[in-house]
Structures are given as C-alpha cells and as structure tokens.
Amino acid sequence: MDRTLVIIKPDAVERGLSGEIVARLERKGLHLVAAQLRTIDADTAAQHYAEHVGRPYYAALVDFITRGPSLVLVVAGVPEVWRVVRSLMGTTNPLEAAPGTIRGDFGLITRENLVHGSDSPEAAEREIALFFPAL
C-alpha cells in the first residue's frame, strides 16, 4: 500500500489549524496510518531537510520547523498518495497557491507554509523511516 509522510508544521499547530488540515485529508478519502505530535529536534530536521543544506533559507527553516510541536502523519488510501497530498497542499509559496488548497487558503509566508508532504515514493519511504522507524 502506498503511503506518504505529512508534517503539519509548527505554524499550523500554533494557529489551531491541525484539525482542519487532518479533516481535509480525511474528507478527500485518505486515512491516517500513524500520527504523532512532537517537537522535531535539530538533528531530525537536518536529516529531513538535507537536500536544502546550503540554501539561503536553510538555517531559518530549521529554526522554524523545530520551534514547537508539529503533527507528523503517515497517510494512505490510494496509489501514489503522495501526489494527492501534494495537490491538496498547493505550491510552496502560499501567495501563488490556488484557493482551495491548504497553503492557498491559509498561508502568506513561504517558510511558514503550514504543511509538508513527501515529493516522491522514495522520499516518502525515507521520511517515514526517519520519523516512524517502527513502521
């Protein structure tokens, strides 16, 4: 069964939007395989965002993702579920994200764009292994 990692980021948890975001995933027909509210530590953040090392936004991104609790999910329900989640999320910059998407409806800031979703099947399995090694 295809599965993907979703992170409801600290900005969304702080703003009380975690339930809204989970509801959107569930209403689409996806279901939760695992869920954990946790403050991501710097080492885990560095592994998760390894491909972004050296980018001008990297240090601020790690500060942001570690600043408070995130709701980390494994989601399933359809082949290529990662694509469905990315579609529900909208584009990285919330100012460009379509209305009706999570980022398009709730975001204004590229860094604080509410949600992460794996961008390929390989990324999904790598990220699930990082956050949920028992799975």
* Nearest CB to ligand CDP, comparing residues 77 and 90: 90
Contact set for ligand CDP, span 95-114 (CB under 6 A): 110-111, 113
Compute the distance between CA of residue 72 and CA of residue 39 in angstroms, rounded to an integer.
10
What is the bridge-based pairing of β-strands 70-76 and 3-8? Answer: antiparallel
Q: How far is the CB of 29 from ligand CDP (least distance, A)?
A: 22
Q: What separation in angstroms does the CA of 52 have from each of 2, 23, 100?
A: 25, 30, 28
Contact set for Mg ion, span 33-72 (CB under 5 A): none
Residue 52: active-site member: no
Q: Is 61 in the site for ligand CDP (CB under 6 A)?
A: yes
Phi–psi pair at 58, nearest 5 degrees: -60, -50
- Footprint of Mg ion on this chain (CB under 5 A)? 119
Q: Which residues are catalytic?
A: 116
